[in-house]
């Protein structure tokens, strides 16, 4: 008898919960309005963190963090000047000094490896994962931290998982339904509605607060949208504000189901694994898509891999050979509330999503930059670098010429030979050879 009563009560609580979620979160997403719940939450969060850090006098909350731009002072004098300074003319022992120092600087700190670990914070945000050297500080702080854990895991996490489930299900169901309609403007309109709604639900599932700047530069149809890559949720961040045609590889599992469903409603470009290898095929398909001015802009992440959002790495030139107008977008996450960077060599996607969903929030700024076109005398690589600079400048990120693929592979020999060639050409010029 009691069991039935308990079960009934639980069912009613569950129903009330679901109703609250639907009413307060899902419905506004459909309509595209905001009830201000997220804003209120963020305000409370910010105030709490501020008070926590100010109140802990005389304690170090965290070992002195090092700024992400580096810890050693690098002498940026180019090789020619430095060696000319060391000796006026011929080859001497001292040339080895330059390379020696460069080598040691690289050993103490190299620019590439530090881009594949999470950005360090200047003050702790009450998440253990950001407190590298955690140790007991004060009772008060520990209590607050415990409350934080309870809030995050027992309240926020179930809420977010519910929302994510609703979002993904409605995406699959919605796009399948829309896909049944005949092609036409009604279908396109409904497809946009479905995509936007589901994106909004998913963004709320992450407690995302996104500020969009310069909306007048938003990517238009027939264009290519290019952005820096930090995590798989970049796509959701962008689709929250507009519709894009995604480009990517066909996956299996849940992702594959989503891909198959969405492509019925909207012309996303999904490649089979074998097709990806053939660059010409890829370029051709993308060109066809872009040429059709009625199709949605395609979304590409030219870095090819996730970087930790402190810098922008080499843009692969493939995306810039397609032609058309490029709409660059800069995305910068605020690491104070949650680290969005996906270190794919350290965490798999499930543990990554779990970390994201147990963070405080995802806060980011998105800047739409004015469109760029490839100029007459530029080749794809130069154009790619120009776009990269624009994005880095806007987002306040450092620019690196390195290839994101270095996360997994070694430096190409061509780079090393380049350096050595420069050096030996200098020697030849100085007339050291008879």
Partner 1 sequence: LGLSRGTQTPIPSLLSPTVTSEQIEHLHRRFKQLSQDQLTIRKENFDSIPDLEFNPIRGKIVHAFFDKRNLRQASDGLVDEINFEDFLTIMSYFRPIEMNMDEEQLDRFRKEKLKFLFHMYDSDHDGKITLQEYRNVVEELLSGNPHLEKESARSIADGAMMEAASICVGQMGPDQVYEGITFEDFLKMWQGIDIETKMHVRFLNMETIAHCY
Supply φ then ψ for residue 376, to 5 degrees. Answer: -55, -50
Residues that bind partner 1 (CB under 8 A): 53-54, 56-67, 70-73, 86-87, 90-97, 99-113, 122-124, 132-133, 135, 402, 406, 410-411, 415-417, 419-421, 423-425, 427-428, 432-434
Considering the complex, what minimum distance in angstroms separates the CB of residue 407 from partner 1? 10
Tokens (6 digits) for 423? 């050096």
Residue closer to partner 1 by CB (options 98, 271) is: 98
Identify which of residues 141 and 247 has a Cβ nearer to partner 1 in the complex. 141
Q: For residue 423, which phi and psi values (nearest 5 degrees)?
A: -65, -45
For residue 328, the cross-strand partners are: 226
d(CA 311, CA 183): 42
Q: For residues 104 and 155, which CB has a smaller minimum distance to partner 1 in the complex?
A: 104
Cβ at position 133, least distance to partner 1 in Å: 4
Please report how close the Cβ of residue 273 comes to partner 1 at its closest, in angstroms: 28
**DSSP state, 13?**
H
Of the pair 327, 402, the CB lying nearest partner 1 is at: 402
Cβ 406 to partner 1, closest distance in Å? Answer: 5
Nearest to partner 1 of 17, 66 (CB atom): 66
Least distance in angstroms from the C-beta of 301 to partner 1 = 21
DSSP per position, 238-251 = HHTSS--EEEEE--
CB of 311 to partner 1, least distance (A): 14
Q: How far is CA 361 from the centre of its chain?
A: 15
Between 268 and 407, whose beta carbon lies closer to partner 1?
Answer: 407
Least separation in angstroms between CB 228 and partner 1: 20
| Helix runs in 233-379, H state only | 234-239, 253-265, 273-277, 279-291, 349-357
Residues sharing a CB contact under 8 Å with residue 103, sequence separation 6 or more, in sequence order: none
Q: Map residue 330 onto helix, strand or coil.
A: strand
Q: Are 241 and 366 in contact (CB under 8 A)?
A: yes
Q: How far apart are CA 184 and CA 176, in angstroms?
A: 16
CA distances from 396 to 289, 310, 365, 368, 393 (A): 32, 8, 11, 14, 5
In angstroms, what is the minimal distance from the CB of 88 to partner 1?
A: 11
The 3-state DSSP class for residue 364 equals strand
Q: Please say which residue, 126 or 206, places its beta carbon nearer to partner 1.
A: 126
Query: Considering beta carbons, is residue 192 or 334 the nearer one to partner 1?
Result: 334
């Amino acid at each position: 008898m009691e069991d039935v009563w308990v079960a009934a009560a639980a069912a009613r609580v569950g129903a009330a919960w679901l109703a609250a979620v639907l009413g307060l979160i899902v419905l506004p997403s459909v309509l595209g309005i905001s009830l201000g719940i997220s804003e209120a939450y963020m305000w409370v969060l910010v105030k709490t963190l501020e008070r926590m850090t100010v109140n802990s006098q005389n304690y170090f909350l965290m070992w002195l963090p090092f700024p992400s731009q580096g810890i050693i002072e690098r002498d940026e004098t180019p090789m020619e000047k430095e060696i000319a300074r060391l000796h006026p003319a011929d080859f001497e022992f001292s040339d080895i000094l330059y390379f020696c120092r460069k080598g040691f600087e690289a050993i103490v700190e190299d620019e590439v490896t530090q881009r594949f670990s999470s950005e360090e914070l200047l003050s702790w945000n009450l998440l253990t994962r950001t407190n590298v050297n955690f140790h007991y500080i004060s009772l008060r702080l520990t209590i607050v931290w415990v409350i934080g854990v309870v809030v995050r895991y027992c309240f926020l996490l179930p809420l977010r998982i519910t929302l994510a489930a609703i979002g993904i299900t409605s995406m699959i169901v919605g796009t399948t339904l829309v896909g049944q309609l005949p092609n036409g403007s009604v279908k396109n309109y409904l497809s946009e509605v479905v995509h936007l709604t589901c994106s909004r639900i998913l963004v709320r599932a992450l407690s995302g607060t996104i500020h969009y700047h310069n909306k007048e530069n938003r990517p238009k149809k027939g264009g290519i949208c290019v952005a820096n890559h930090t995590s798989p949720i970049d796509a959701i961040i962008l689709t929250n504000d507009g519709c894009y045609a995604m480009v990517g590889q066909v996956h299996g599992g849940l992702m594959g189901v989503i891909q198959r469903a969405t492509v019925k409603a909207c012309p996303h470009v999904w490649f089979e694994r074998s097709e990806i290898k053939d660059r010409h095929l890829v370029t051709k398909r993308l060109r066809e898509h872009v040429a059709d001015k009625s199709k949605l802009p395609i979304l590409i992440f030219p870095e090819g891999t996730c970087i930790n959002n402190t810098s922008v790495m080499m843009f692969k030139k493939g995306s810039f050979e397609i032609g058309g107008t490029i709409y660059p977008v800069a995305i910068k996450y605020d690491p104070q509330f949650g680290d969005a960077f996906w270190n794919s060599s350290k965490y798999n996607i499930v543990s990554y999503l779990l970390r994201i969903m147990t963070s405080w929030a995802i806060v980011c700024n998105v800047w739409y930059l004015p469109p760029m076109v490839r100029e007459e005398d530029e080749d794809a690589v130069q154009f790619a670098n120009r776009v990269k600079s624009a994005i880095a400048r806007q987002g306040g990120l450092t620019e690196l010429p390195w290839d994101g693929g270095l996360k997994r592979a070694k430096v190409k020999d061509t780079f090393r030979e380049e350096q050595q060639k420069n050096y030996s050409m200098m020697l030849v010029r100085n007339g050291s050879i008879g």
